[in-house]
Amino acid sequence: SQDVCALLVQACQLVHLDQEHLVSKVCQLIHHLLNRFQVMVDEQNLNFLLSYCISALKQCSSWTHVEILQALAALVYNNGPKCQKYLPDLLGKTGLLVQFSDSTQPDVELRRAAVRSMANLCLSVPGQPYLDESYRSICFQTFLSVLQSSKTSDVDDITFCMLLQNALKGIQSLLNGGKMKLMQTDQIGSLLAVLKKCMFHGLPGLSIEVPAALYPAPLPQYDKRSPVKQEQSELAAFKQTGNRRKKSKGKQKKGEFGEEGREDLGDAGNESVLGADMLKLHLGDVQSSPYSDPRTRASDVAYVPAGKDRLSSHCTSWKRISSSESEYSDAEGGIQSKMRSYQANVRQGALACFLSAIKSIEKRVLYGYWSAFVPDAPGIGSPQSVSLMTIALKDPSPKTRACALQVLSAILEGSKQFLSVAEDANDHKRAFTPFSVTIASSIRELHRCLLLALVAESSSQTLTQIVKCLANLVSNAPYSRLKPGLLTRVWNQIKPYICHKDVNVRVSSLTLLGAIVSVQAPLPEVQLLLQQPSSSGLNNSGSATPHRFNASEQWRKAVPSEEEPTDNPAGCTSSEPCWLLRLCVSIVVLPREDSCSDSDANFPSFSSIYEPCPLRLESLQVLALLVKGYFSMAQSYFLELGEVACRCMEEMDPSIQLHGAKLLEELGTGVLQQYKPDSAVAPDQRVPVSVVVTFWTVILNGPLPGTLQNSPHATLQTSACDALSSILPEAFSSLQNDQQILCVTLLLGLNHSENPLVKAAAARALGVYILFPCLRQDVMFVADTANAILNSLHDKSPNVRAKAAWSLGNLTDTLIINMETMGQSFQEEFSDLLLLKMLRSATEASKDRDKVKSNAVRALGNVLHFLQPYHIANPRFREAIEESLQALISTVQSEATMKVRWNACYALGNVFKNPALPLGEAPWTMQAYSALSSVVKSCKNFKVRIKSAMALSIPSKRECYGSAEQFCQIWSALVVALQKSEDTEDFLEFKYSASLRTQICQALLHLLSLAKSTDLPVIWETITEHGNAIKSYVLQYLKSGVEENEAGVQTDLCERERVLKGAIEHLGGIEKQLEGKARVRVSVYLEDVLTNHASATELTEA
C-alpha cells in the first residue's frame, strides 16, 4: 500500500496540470490502482492527491473532468473524516461536486461521476465523526433531485441506471451513517415517492407514474382514545382522505398492467401450453425438492379469484425470461440482458435504501404511508394497485424479490398496534368503508399475495424471505377480530415446506408454525388445526407427505414413557396424535434422514447423526410455544415431552440444553395454571397429581440437578432454576424425601452464585418454594431461606435485589399464615435475631429503587404485624421498629410509583392489626394517621386512596385512634374524600371511584360505631354541614350491598345494614347519657338514612 501511494504521488509530481492528456491518464491510474488493490491511503498522501485532483478540476478542460472525478471518488472512498478541510471546495454552496451534479448539468457521465464522489464522501467510518449537518442536507437534496429527474432521450439507459444507483447509495449512507431521523412530512413524502418510483425502475410490463410526494393518511390508533370510539368519530375524515391515498398508488396505464391484475402468477395450474413450458424452464431447480414441483400444488391456493386468465401467455412473456428465449439476436440479447441487470440493481438499491429509511422513520409516521406500499384488495373492475407485493410476485430477479420481501417484513415488524383496529368479523353494510375494514382487507390481501408468492417461488433464498415475511404478518395480525380461515390457508400451504431441500426454508417454516401457535393463543381456529389428522392438507400431493409422517409411531418408540397417551384420563382430546407436536418431537429426537440434507453442510453439528442444530432449536421453540398456548392439547403427551426435555439437557450443545430447560419450564407452568384457584379447567380435565409426581421424579433423576450444579453457562443455569421453580406444590409434597431435600439444597446453594442472573433466579425460586404448604411450616427451612434471601437483598445487582425483595415479601406472608394456623408454637421457635435482621434489611431496602421498594414495604407490614409483646418490649427491637415505621410513613407520602405507595398503605393497615403495638399512644401513630388522611383526600391514584381508606378502618378499638382531635381529623378527612371521590383528571381512574366510595363508607361507619361522647360535636358539625351528600353516598353504599348479596358476593345477608344498625345502637346509648347536656342527634340522622333505605328496598321489591 505504501508503494502504491508513493507511485501515485510521484506520478502527480511529474505531471503538470497543463499536460491535460497526461493528467487524464494519471487520474485513470489512481482510479485503477486504488480499486484494484483496495489500498488505504494515509493522511499525508491523501492530502497531496486530493489537492492535485481539486486543482485539476478547477484548471483543466471539461473533457478531463470525468476521469478526475473517478480518481476523486476512489480517493475519498471510506476516507470521508480525513477530507474535512476539502469539504468547502467540494460540498460548499458553490462546491465543485455541487455544480457538477446539478440537474442543469448537460453531460450525464459527468453528473454521474460527481454524484458518485459525493456518495463516497457520505460513507461513515466507524469510530470517526460524521459529516456536518449543513453538508448532509446539501448531499441529501442533491441525491433527491437526481432521483426525481427523468431520463431524456439522448441519455443511455445504462448510464442513467448507474446515476440512480449512486444517488440511492448516497441516501442510504446518509440514513445509516448519519443516524438520520426523518421528521418533516415533506422530506419523508418526497423520499418515499422517489423510492417508490425507483423500486419499479425497468420492471418489465409495468409503467407507473408516482407523484412528486406521497402524503400520509391520519391514523386513529395513535390517538389516545380507544379504537372503537375513534372509528365512529373519524369515519368522515377517512372518507375524505380516500381520494388522496388512491392517488399515491400511482396511475396505471391501462393495457400495460392494470387489466390483468396481479393474479397472473402462481396460478400455475394453467391450461396455457406456453405458460406451462416456461414454468418448467424457470422452476427447474425445484423439481428435485421433496415435494415435486409447485404446479402440483397450485390447487392449494384455494382463494385465487375465479374468472381471471390462468397465467395467459401474453402476460407472462416477460416473467423471468433469459435472453436465449427472446426474439433478440445474440448481440442485441447481450445488451438487453446487461441493461436488465443494471435496472435490477437500481430496484435493489431503492429497496435497500427503503430498508434504511424504515429504521429512520418513527413507526406511527411510517404507517401513514401504508397504502402506498402494501397491497389492498382490488375494487370491482378497478386495477390492482402496485405495491411491494408486485415486485415480490413479478420481478424477474430473485434477489430483488427477496429485497422487496425484506422491506415488507420490516414494515410489518412492530405493526401490532397499527393493525389492531382491523375488523371484518361482522359484515359492514354502510355507504362508506370504515378504516377498520380497509386495514382488514389489506391484511387479507397480504395473506393471499404471500401465499401466491410461496407457490410460485423457485429460489430458496427468496422462499426463506417469503416465509419469514408470513411469520411477521402472523405475529402482528389481530386474528380474533377477523373472519376465521386465514391461518388455515397458511397452515395447509406451509406443511410441505417443512421437508424442503434447503435447511433455511425448513427453519423459517417452523418459525411460521411457531408464530401461528403463539399469536393470541388460544384461538379456536388454531385449536381445530392442531386436532386435524396429520394427513390433511398433504393428501393432494403424494410426494409432499413429509417423510417423517410415514412411520407414524416411530417417534413414540424413540421416546420411551411409562404411560401411553391414549390411556391418559386427563383431557386427551383426540386419539390421533397432534401433527405439529409429532413433527417437532421427531425432528428433535430422531436421527436425520439424508434425503433432506443438501444444504445442511453449513451447519456442522456436534453429533451429525441428528438434524441440523438450527432446525432442532426451532422445533424445541415451537414445542415450548405449543405447550404455552395450547396446554390442553399438549397435556396428553406430558410425560413424553418431559422425556424430550431431559434428552435435550443431556446433550453437549448448550443451546439445545437451554431450549430443553425452557420446554421443561413451560410444562411445569402449564400444570401450575391448571391448578390455580381461579382455573377454568375442571378437576377431571387436569393432569393428575400422580402423573405430575412421576414427571418430576424422572426430571430430578435426570440431568437437571447436574446442570444446576456444574454448568459453566449462566443462562442455562438460570433457565434450569426457573424450571425447578415451576413444580406443582401438591406434587412436591408427594416427592420422595431425598428429592425434596435435593431441590431445596440446590436452590440454597445457587443463591451464593457469582453470576447475577443465576443468583436472581435462585432468589425468586426460593420465594416460590417458601409458599409451599409442606415447606412453610418447617422452621429450619424458613430460617435458611430467610438468611439466603437477606444475603441477596444486599447484592450489588438491582435485579437480584428486586427478586430477593419479592421473595422476602412472600416469606413474610408465610410468617403471618403460620401465626394464624400454628399459633404461638411457630412464633416462639422462630429466631428473634433473624426477625430483627429481617426488619432492618427491609427498612434499608425500602429506600432502594422502586422495584425493590414495593416489596420491601410489603415485608415491613408483615413483620410488624408478626411481632409479639416480648419483641416490642425488647430494647434491641425498639429502635428498629421506630425506623421501620418511619420508613413506611415516609413512603406513603413520597413521590414513588403508585404501586409502591399502595403497598405502603396496605402495610400500615397490616401494622394496625397487631394488638401488641402501642397504637394511639406512641407519637408515630399520629404521623401514620395524618399521612393516610392526606393521601385518602388527594392522591391522584384511586387505588392508593382505596388502600389508605382500608387502612384507616382497621384499628378495632376507639383508644387506638388516640385523642378526640386525632379521631375527628380522620373523620373529617374521610368525609372530604367521600365528596371528592368522583373528581379525577385521569379517565382511567374513574372506574375505581365506586370501590373508593364503598371503602370510605365502610371506614365512616366503622368510626361511628367506635365514637365516644367527646367525638360527637365534630361529627354532628360535619353532618349538619354536609348531611345530604353523606346521606346519598351511604344510601348508595347500602343499596349496592343488597345488589352484591343478590349476586352472591356476600354471605352475610345485609352485612352493611347490620353495621349501620350497630352504629345507631352505639350512638343512641351515648346520646342517652348526654341527655340535656348537648343537643347532638347523630343516631337520629342515621335512623333516617336507614328508614330511607328500607322504603327504597320495598319499592324495588314491589
- Can you tell me the mean pLDDT for 608-623? 92
Tell me the one-letter amino acid at 969: Q
Three-class SS of residue 829? helix
Question: Residue 743: its pLDDT value, please?
Answer: 96
Phi-psi region at 151: left, alpha or beta (left = phi > 0; alpha = psi -120 to 50): beta
- Can you tell me the mean pLDDT for 365-388? 83
Closest CA relative to residue 617, chosen from 707, 717, 514, 703 = 514
Question: Residue 380: its pLDDT value, please?
Answer: 63
Mean pLDDT of the chain: 82
Question: Residue 253: its pLDDT value, please?
Answer: 36
Separation between Cα atoms, residue 170 and residue 570, nearest integer Å: 63
Tell me the one-letter amino acid at 805: A
Separation between Cα atoms, residue 546 and residue 289, nearest integer Å: 12
C-alpha cell at 222: 395513535
Three-state secondary structure readout of 94-138: CCHHHHHCCCCCCCHHHHHHHHHHHHHHCCCCCCCCCCCHHHHHH
Backbone angles phi, psi at 923, to 5 degrees: -60, -30
Three-state secondary structure readout of 883-919: HHHHHHHHHHHCCCCHHHHHHHHHHHHHHHCCCCCCC
For residue 968, pLDDT beyond 70: yes
Residue 1095: pLDDT band with limits 50, 70, 90: confident
Residue 54: pLDDT band with limits 50, 70, 90: very high
Question: Residue 703: its pLDDT value, please?
Answer: 93
C-alpha cell at 883: 425506623
SS3 percent helix, strand, coil of the chain, rounded to 5, is 70, 0, 30
For residue 83, pLDDT beyond 50: yes
Burial of 526 (0-12, 13-18, 19+ CB in 10 A): buried
Question: Residue 381: its pLDDT value, please?
Answer: 62
Task: Say which residue, 1051 or 1057, is predicted with more confidence.
Answer: 1057
- Can you tell me the mean pLDDT for 728-751? 95
Separation between Cα atoms, residue 982 and residue 159, nearest integer Å: 72
Three-class SS of residue 680? coil
- Can you tell me the mean pLDDT for 860-885? 92
**Range from 237-241, 347-351, 424-428, 597-601 that averages highest in pLDDT:** 347-351
Sign of CA dihedral 102, 103, 107, 112: positive
- H-helix or E-strand spanning residue 761: helix 756-769
Overall residue count recorded for the chain in this entry: 1102
C-alpha cell at 20: 491535460
- Can you tell me the mean pLDDT for 90-106? 88
Q: Where are the beta strands (DSSP E) in 213-265?
A: 251-252
- How many whole angstroms from its chain centre is CA 914? 45
To 10 degrees, what angle do helices 964-979 and 942-952 make? 150
Tens-place pLDDT, residues 382-397: 667 789 999 999 999 9
- How many whole angstroms from its chain centre is CA 477? 13
Separation between Cα atoms, residue 479 and residue 469, nearest integer Å: 17
Tens-place pLDDT, residues 509-536: 999 999 999 998 899 999 999 988 765 4
Three-class SS of residue 1019? helix
Tens-place pLDDT, residues 921-935: 888 999 999 999 999
Residue 541: pLDDT band with limits 50, 70, 90: very low
- Can you tell me the mean pLDDT for 193-200? 94
Residue 103: pLDDT band with limits 50, 70, 90: confident
Average the pLDDT over each of 723-727, 943-947, 990-994 and give the range with the smallest value. Answer: 990-994
- Can you tell me the mean pLDDT for 163-183? 87
Sign of CA dihedral 623, 628, 632, 637: positive
- Per DSSP, the chain holds a count of helices (H) and strands (E) of 52, 2
For residue 597, pLDDT beyond 60: no
Tens-place pLDDT, residues 127-158: 888 888 889 989 999 999 999 998 888 888 99
- Can you tell me the mean pLDDT for 678-683? 90
Separation between Cα atoms, residue 162 and residue 345, nearest integer Å: 9
- Can you tell me the mean pLDDT for 14-26? 92
Tens-place pLDDT, residues 917-967: 998 888 899 999 999 999 988 888 888 999 999 999 999 998 899 888 989
Give this prediction's pTM: 0.80
End-to-end CA distance of the chain: 103
Separation between Cα atoms, residue 357 and residue 336, nearest integer Å: 31
pLDDT > 90 fraction of the chain, expressed in percent and rounded: 51
Average the pLDDT over each of 203-207, 299-303, 1096-1100 and give the range with the smallest value. Answer: 299-303
CB atoms within 10 A of CB 769: 25
Separation between Cα atoms, residue 394 and residue 400, nearest integer Å: 10
Q: Are the beta carbons of 54 and 86 closer than 8 angstroms? A: yes
Question: Which residues neighbour 826 within 8 Å (Cβ) at sequence distance 6 or greater?
Answer: 777, 779, 818, 819
Tens-place pLDDT, residues 245-290: 333 333 333 333 333 333 333 333 333 333 333 333 333 333 333 3
- Can you tell me the mean pLDDT for 864-888? 92
Query: For residue 546, is the peptide bond before it cis, meaning its omega torsion is within 30 degrees of 0?
Result: no
For residue 367, pLDDT beyond 70: yes
Residue 1043: pLDDT band with limits 50, 70, 90: low
Separation between Cα atoms, residue 169 and residue 612, nearest integer Å: 37
Tell me the one-letter amino acid at 230: Q
- Can you tell me the mean pLDDT for 887-895? 90
For residue 471, pLDDT beyond 90: yes
Average the pLDDT over each of 859-868, 878-887, 1053-1062, 1073-1082 and give the range with the smallest value. Answer: 1073-1082
Separation between Cα atoms, residue 325 and residue 207, nearest integer Å: 23
C-alpha cell at 486: 386465514
Residue 980: pLDDT band with limits 50, 70, 90: confident
Average the pLDDT over each of 127-131, 620-624, 898-902 and give the range with the smallest value. Answer: 127-131
Residue 1079: pLDDT band with limits 50, 70, 90: low
- Residue 830 DSSP one-character state: S
To 10 degrees, what angle do helices 779-793 and 832-845 make? 30
Task: Say which residue, 276 or 668, is predicted with more confidence.
Answer: 668
For residue 551, pLDDT beyond 70: no
Task: Say which residue, 635 or 208, is predicted with more confidence.
Answer: 635
